[in-house]
A and B are shown apart, each in its own frame.
Chain A
């Protein structure tokens, strides 16, 4: 148990961060021409990574804070009808390409960080909401009937039965949302919100593979890191570790 935890919480993340550092060092040392070198400096890579991290963290946290309670709410019998409507609306919203969402909100909200956060927030709502809803609906009807029949209050049923049972599915939704978010956040650069997309998009527009690869590798590592840490959190909270 102990060594597992050590590896899960420290060793593996440290390895991933080590990889990221190595990628950074390698590409800063070998930028592949002066044009790419303009972006492949330690300061610039660090800034882009930090911006990316903040974009993902803030939008995901806000999305969790909104989607989980909303998911719980629409799974209540008295809201179930509204729930289906809400789910469908968000389902349809999800089919709008992320770039289109960026463009759409840009015209309403203006450019930059906040718009990017909002677009990412919108984009991560559905996986979390849907999984929360599905997770709670997935709880065996018998367990809920039994809990109710034995005199548990609705609040206790939610807290002791429904949420713990829905938890892995909710967590899976959050993981999906965050990993998607890391990818989608590379589009934020189009509206001047920075992030690793700045490396990638510049690389594409001037044809410098080093920029594309550096940006893609760093965001991939970030996605794996987030996924892993959320997996650890999940395991710790379910007590399976």
Chain B
């Protein structure tokens, strides 16, 4: 009888352990052999997409049509976890945001959108015209910074904050110093500007970069970063509560200026949004940075290299072959 009781205890503990370990062991179910094999062979072209992209007519169906291929299967999940799914080889290809820090951290690569399928979202500092008129040198301060912000740089910066746990300010400082973008510091004497940003990592970093650069050039800067979503930041700018923040061309075009058709060419998007925003809202779009925070199609770096895939067209060829 006593034994039975202990048996019950043992079974119970066993199940607990089974629960923890058993489920834990199943993390990577697909393509388990992938890493150990020297030759990368992807038999199942499984694609990780979020719920929206998977069904929207201008999402996955259009992408497949445009490039002329079809994934073997689609796994639907939250956009935040596609990076992990790809890294853990549960899928071969995944969608994500092009500048997410995990791309660098997980050794993933963005495939070039060579047919310009996705709308473009290049960021540019948007400044109230009043301020630009008063301090035209702002353009000279921010131009070289924007120029340096390419996709890989932004991925690395986002990775430092999101993956390595750095403060946005530290990451910004490091970026500016590494690229020699801070000249001789000038005593604060030029006047006051208010810098804003939306409330996600990339925006916070961009905001901090701007603040540091302007401070260095002798501006007195009020930090008003972390303003929530597009709506909040945009109306703060229009109301003069902030003087500038980084906005994406695609967002400016679709959200702020309320157009229906997305633009998929960077220059075109920038020119159009710049003209219209100046005319309608007295806002100046300074030159945009080369990185493009749009949807991206990603693969694991090793796979892409082994298969010689650089663009989505290459991927389509590979799948179709």
Interface set of A (CB-CB < 8 Å, partner B): 34-36, 38-39, 62, 65-66, 69-70, 72-73, 76, 105-115, 117-118, 121, 153-156, 189-192, 194, 198, 201-202, 204-206
B90 touches A198 (CB 8 A): no
In the complex where A192-B76, A205-B50 touch, is A35 in contact with B11 (Cβ < 8 A)?
Answer: no
CB closest chain-B residue, reference A105: B23
User: Which residues in B have their C-beta under 8 angstroms from that of A36?
Assistant: 55
**Mind listing 21 A-B residue pairs with CB under 8 Å?**
A35-B56, A62-B15, A69-B9, A69-B15, A70-B12, A70-B16, A76-B5, A110-B26, A110-B27, A111-B84, A112-B85, A114-B22, A114-B24, A114-B25, A115-B26, A115-B27, A201-B51, A202-B52, A204-B51, A205-B51, A206-B51
B15 touches A66 (CB 8 A): yes
In the complex where A109-B27, A110-B27 touch, is A66 in contact with B16 (Cβ < 8 A)?
Answer: yes
Task: Give the interface centre of A110, A121, A189, A202 by most chain B CB atoms within 10 Å.
Answer: A110
A206 touches B56 (CB 8 A): yes
B27 touches A155 (CB 8 A): no
User: Which residues in B have their C-beta under 8 angstroms from that of A70?
Assistant: 12, 16
CB closest chain-B residue, reference A64: B15
Q: Please measure, in the bound complex, the distance between the C-alpha atom of A158 and the C-alpha atom of B11, giving whole angstroms.
A: 17
A206 touches B77 (CB 8 A): no
Q: Please measure, in the bound complex, the distance between the C-alpha atom of A154 and the C-alpha atom of B26, giving whole angstroms.
A: 40
Cβ-neighbour of B26 out of A107, A114, A153, A156 (below 8 A): A114
User: Which residues in A have their C-beta under 8 angstroms from that of B61?
Assistant: 38
A-B contact count (CB 8 A): 117
A62 touches B19 (CB 8 A): yes
CB closest chain-B residue, reference A115: B23
Q: Please measure, in the bound complex, the distance between the C-alpha atom of A72 and the C-alpha atom of B9, giving whole angstroms.
A: 9
> Which bracket fits the contact residues of B?
35 or more
Flag B49-85 by CB within 8 Å of A: 1 or 0 each. 0111011110001000000000000011110010011
In the complex where A62-B15, A153-B1, A202-B51 touch, is A114 in contact with B77 (Cβ < 8 A)?
Answer: no
How close is A67's CB to chain B, nearest CB, in angstroms?
9
User: Which residues in A have their C-beta under 8 angstroms from that of B56?
Assistant: 35, 206
In the complex where A38-B55, A112-B26, A198-B51 touch, is A191 in contact with B81 (Cβ < 8 A)?
Answer: yes
CB closest chain-A residue, reference B84: A111
How close is A120's CB to chain B, nearest CB, in angstroms?
10
- Of residues 127 to 147 in B, which have CB atoms within 8 Å of A's CB atoms? none
In the complex where A34-B57, A39-B55 touch, is A66 in contact with B23 (Cβ < 8 A)?
Answer: no
CB closest chain-B residue, reference A155: B1
Cβ-neighbour of A191 out of B11, B15, B28, B77 (below 8 A): B77
Does B29 reach chain A (CB closer than 8 Å)? yes
Q: Please measure, in the bound complex, the distance between the C-alpha atom of A194 and the C-alpha atom of B75, giving whole angstroms.
A: 8
Q: Please measure, in the bound complex, the distance between the C-alpha atom of A198 and the C-alpha atom of B52, giving whole angstroms.
A: 10
In the complex where A109-B27, A115-B23 touch, is A72 in contact with B8 (Cβ < 8 A)?
Answer: yes
How close is A56's CB to chain B, nearest CB, in angstroms?
15
User: Which residues in A have their C-beta under 8 angstroms from that of B11?
Assistant: 69
User: Which residues in A have their C-beta under 8 angstroms from that of B237?
Assistant: none
User: Which residues in A have their C-beta under 8 angstroms from that of B4?
Assistant: 155
Q: Please measure, in the bound complex, the distance between the C-alpha atom of A6 and the C-alpha atom of B57, giving whole angstroms.
A: 48
How close is A108's CB to chain B, nearest CB, in angstroms?
7
How close is B3's CB to chain A, nearest CB, in angstroms?
9
Cβ-neighbour of B90 out of A38, A156, A192, A201 (below 8 A): A192
A106 touches B81 (CB 8 A): yes
- Of residues 18 to 55 in B, which have CB atoms within 8 Å of A's CB atoms? 18-20, 22-29, 48, 50-52, 54-55
